[in-house]
């Protein structure tokens, strides 16, 4: 069953669509059975629903194409001033009030803010819980909210080095420590180097096998900051005791070299074609490795630098194994925001939709209040045999204005024609009936028909009254969606 309720005050018109077991508000979302919708009528209309995150004033749908191909898939959401305004409108300047939910309700999704600039571009990673998701929602507009950005909850593995090195084992240590003075943002990991040519090379390595040794396919990303002639490396499918695995390199020295090495810890050798070394000294750059079976890709600042099929290069280390961080040469290399995420091809692209407010400011020619309404709606039973007899809807209206108002209610397209067709009737009348009136008082209820409009009560200044919508009907067996329009109107009392 679908019931549509336009709420009219003066020139304000808002429609609420009510299907069988839920209520959906156009442009807002879906209400489940026995949930509440709040309307503020007069100077504006306010919505609240179970799929709207309570306490947040705005949201935007984020459409994913293609849909997520795995559960707990990390999706990049990019915000720009072209979409959000300059500065971003209705969001706290630091972005701490953003939240993400699934498409079917208010279930929060974990997220991590990679970068935030409310006068430029911001990057946020969202872990989408369900496979096959095409839409999530971003909420904002809550002055009291603090940040919930959490990389450890969002990624398969994450370390921003804001604590200790407890997630890692130090395999080879010339000097490995957390540097509290630098980072992206501070603190970060610093790994020393050594001589820029010849022995001692001063290699240092840490590995994630203390807490994570499950990397096989996916994406590894990190921020790296090498000093002059340093050679930061990221290891994958690694096993330190067995000295097996692979690594990619961001070599800051001049000249050319393959960026791929095996095995990763000592006695390494390169494989694949040589490229111009692409490490960038004395600044932060984004390092990324994409690993899918034997297809390896390495990136610098999101630019693909080498794409190789590693299958012909023996031995083959299929994993799973740890990831690791290492450095050669130079004085040191710094690492920050190391994370592992899932990968599918093609990756979902997130498109940010237009803003949806939970308050629509639509001034009317006459301010009656505002009047507020809170309603609980009924379930329809099981389709296609809908037995609605005895299910009631209650709503309370409060007049917070300075003038008394009359409340009228009318039903259209409720019986006959393309409306409701009865197979049997209850309580015995020849048509379905919708009644409205004072809660629990049948004598004050009015029957709503296609043409009648009845004033169910006047509402004094500061008055509060509770009414009941009572559906009296039989059982429908044709399975055809039934539609009615319920109109609530507030007028100046006469």
Per-residue model confidence (pLDDT) at position 472: 47
How many CA atoms does the CB half-sphere of 243 hold within 13 Å?
6
Tokens of 81: 């001033």
Residue 192's pLDDT is: 87
The pLDDT of residue 457 is: 58
| Residues 177 and 307 reside in one and the same domain | yes
Owning domain of residue 88: 58-156+347-357
- What is the separation, in whole angstroms, between the first and last Cα of the chain? 36
Per-residue pLDDT at 203: 76
Q: Assess whether 21 and 80 both reside in one domain.
A: no
Peptide bond into 3 cis (omega under 30): no
Tell whether 371 is covered by a domain.
Answer: no
List pLDDT tens digits, range 135-186: 999 999 999 999 999 999 999 999 999 999 999 999 988 789 999 999 999 9
145 and 259 assigned to the same domain: no
pLDDT score for 362? 29
Average pLDDT over residues 101-109: 84
Count CB atoms within 10 A of the CB of residue 452.
12
What's the length of the chain? 494
Cα–Cα dist 355/110, whole Å = 21
**Residues 1 and 388 sit within 8 Å (Cβ to Cβ):** yes
Query: Smallest Cα–Cα separation from 323: which of 175, 169, 179?
Result: 169
Among 100-114, 179-193, 424-438, 470-484, top mean pLDDT goes to 179-193
Q: Parallel, antiparallel, or unpaired for β 483-492 and 2-9? A: parallel
pLDDT above 90 coverage of the chain, percent: 51
- Six-digit token string for 182: 């630098």
Q: What is the predicted pLDDT for the residue at 131?
A: 95
Neighbours of 389 (CB within 10 A): 16
310 Cβ contact partners less than 8 Å away, ≥ 6 residues apart: 246, 260, 271, 272, 294, 295, 296, 316
Whether residues 238 and 306 fall in one domain: yes
- With beta carbons less than 8 A apart as the criterion, state whether 368 and 242 touch: no
Whether 370 is in a domain gets the answer: no
Q: What is the mean pLDDT of residues 183-211?
A: 81
Does 393 reside within a domain? Answer: yes
Q: CA nearest 486: which of 339, 375, 359?
A: 375
Pair of tokens at residue 480: 């055809």
| Model pLDDT, residue 434 | 52
Q: Output the six-digit token pair for 138.
A: 């971003």
Residues 152 and 169 occupy one common structural domain: no
CA nearest neighbour of 109 among 29, 53, 192, 168:
53
One domain for residues 106 and 122: yes
pLDDT at 54: 78
Q: Is the pLDDT of residue 234 over 60?
A: yes
Stretch among 59-73, 136-150, 379-393, 447-461 having the lowest mean pLDDT: 379-393
Task: Please answer whether residues 434 and 414 qualify as being in contact, where contact means their C-beta atoms are separated by less than 8 angstroms.
Answer: yes
H helix or E strand, kind and range, residue 334:
strand 332-341
Could you tell me if residue 419 is inside a domain?
Answer: yes
Q: Residue 361: is its pLDDT beyond 80?
A: no
User: Distance between CA atoms of 237 and 377, rounded to whole angstroms?
Assistant: 55
For range 479-493, the mean pLDDT: 47
Instruction: Show Cβ contacts of residue 117 under 8 Å, excluding neighbours closer than 6 positions.
Output: none
Q: Judge whether 167 lies within some domain.
A: yes
Query: Which structure tokens are listed for 423?
Result: 């197979």
Q: 187 with 270, same domain?
A: yes
Lowest mean pLDDT among 156-165, 192-201, 304-313, 321-330: 192-201
Token pair listed for 66? 């293609």
Same domain, 208 and 320: yes
> CA–CA separation, 485 vs 333, rounded Å?
67
**What pLDDT does 178 receive?**
96
Q: Which of 14-23, 131-140, 396-405, 485-494 has the lowest mean pLDDT?
A: 14-23
Tally helices (H) and strands (E) across the chain: 2, 41
Q: For residues 395 and 311, which has the higher predicted lDDT (pLDDT)?
A: 311
Does one domain contain both 184 and 277? yes
pLDDT of residue 173: 81
Give domain status of residue 366, yes or no: no
Q: How many domains does the chain have?
A: 3
pLDDT in tens, 410-465: 554 444 433 333 333 333 333 444 555 555 555 556 665 555 455 555 666 666 66
Average pLDDT over residues 356-384: 32
Say if residue 165 is in the same domain as residue 104: no
Dihedral-angle region of residue 259 (phi above 0 means left; psi in -120 to 50 means alpha; beta otherwise): alpha
Residues 352 and 389 in one domain: no
- pLDDT above 90 for 95: yes
pLDDT digits (tens, 9 = 90+) for 20-50: 222 222 222 232 222 233 332 222 223 334 4
* Residue 300 or 319, more confident: 300
């Amino acid at each position: 069953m679908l019931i549509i309720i336009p709420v009219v005050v003066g020139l304000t018109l808002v429609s609420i669509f009510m299907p069988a077991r839920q209520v959906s508000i156009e442009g807002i979302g879906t209400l489940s059975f026995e949930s509440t919708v709040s309307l503020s009528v007069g100077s504006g209309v306010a919505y609240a629903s179970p799929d709207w995150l309570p306490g947040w004033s705005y949201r935007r749908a984020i459409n994913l194409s293609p849909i997520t191909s795995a559960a707990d898939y990390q999706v990049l959401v990019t915000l720009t001033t072209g979409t959000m305004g300059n500065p971003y409108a209705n969001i706290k300047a630091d972005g701490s009030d953003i939240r993400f939910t699934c498409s079917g309700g208010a279930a929060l999704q974990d997220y991590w803010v990679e970068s935030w600039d409310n006068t430029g571009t911001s990057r946020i990673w969202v872990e989408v819980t369900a496979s096959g998701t095409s839409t999530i929602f971003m909420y904002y507009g809550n002055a009291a909210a603090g940040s919930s950005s959490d990389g450890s909850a969002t990624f398969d593995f994450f370390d921003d080095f804001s604590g200790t090195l407890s997630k890692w084992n130090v395999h080879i240590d010339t000097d490995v420590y957390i540097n509290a003075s630098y980072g992206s943002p501070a603190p970060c990991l610093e790994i020393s180097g050594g001589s820029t040519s010849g022995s001692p090379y001063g290699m240092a390595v840490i590995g994630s096998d203390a807490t994570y040794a499950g990397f096989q396919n996916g994406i590894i990303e990190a921020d790296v900051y090498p000093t002059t002639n340093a050679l930061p490396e990221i290891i994958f499918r690694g096993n330190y005791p067995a000295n097996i695995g692979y690594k990619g390199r961001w070599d800051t020295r001049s000249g050319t070299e393959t960026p791929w090495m095996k095995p990763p810890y000592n006695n390494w050798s390169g494989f694949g074609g040589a490229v111009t070394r692409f490490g960038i000294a004395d600044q932060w750059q984004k390092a990324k490795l994409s690993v899918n079976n034997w297809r390896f890709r390495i990136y610098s600042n999101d630019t693909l630098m080498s794409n190789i099929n590693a299958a012909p290069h023996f031995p083959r280390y299929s994993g799973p194994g740890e990831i690791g961080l290492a450095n050669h040469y130079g004085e040191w290399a710094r690492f920050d925001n190391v994370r592992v995420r899932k990968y599918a091809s093609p990756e979902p692209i997130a498109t940010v939709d237009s803003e949806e407010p939970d308050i629509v400011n639509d001034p009317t020619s006459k301010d009656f209040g505002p009047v507020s309404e809170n309603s609980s709606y009924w379930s329809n039973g099981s389709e296609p045999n809908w037995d609605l007899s005895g299910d009631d809807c209650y709503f309370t209206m409060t007049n917070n204005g300075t003038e008394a108002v009359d409340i009228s209610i009318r039903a259209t397209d409720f019986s006959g024609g393309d409306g409701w067709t009865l197979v049997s009737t209850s309580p015995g009348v020849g048509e379905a009936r919708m009644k409205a009136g004072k809660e629990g008082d049948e004598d004050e209820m009015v029957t709503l028909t296609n043409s009648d409009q009845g004033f169910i009560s006047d509402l004094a200044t500061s008055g509060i009254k509770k009414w009941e919508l009572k559906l009296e009907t039989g059982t429908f067996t044709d399975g055809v969606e039934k539609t009615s329009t319920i109109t609530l109107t507030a007028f100046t009392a006469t």
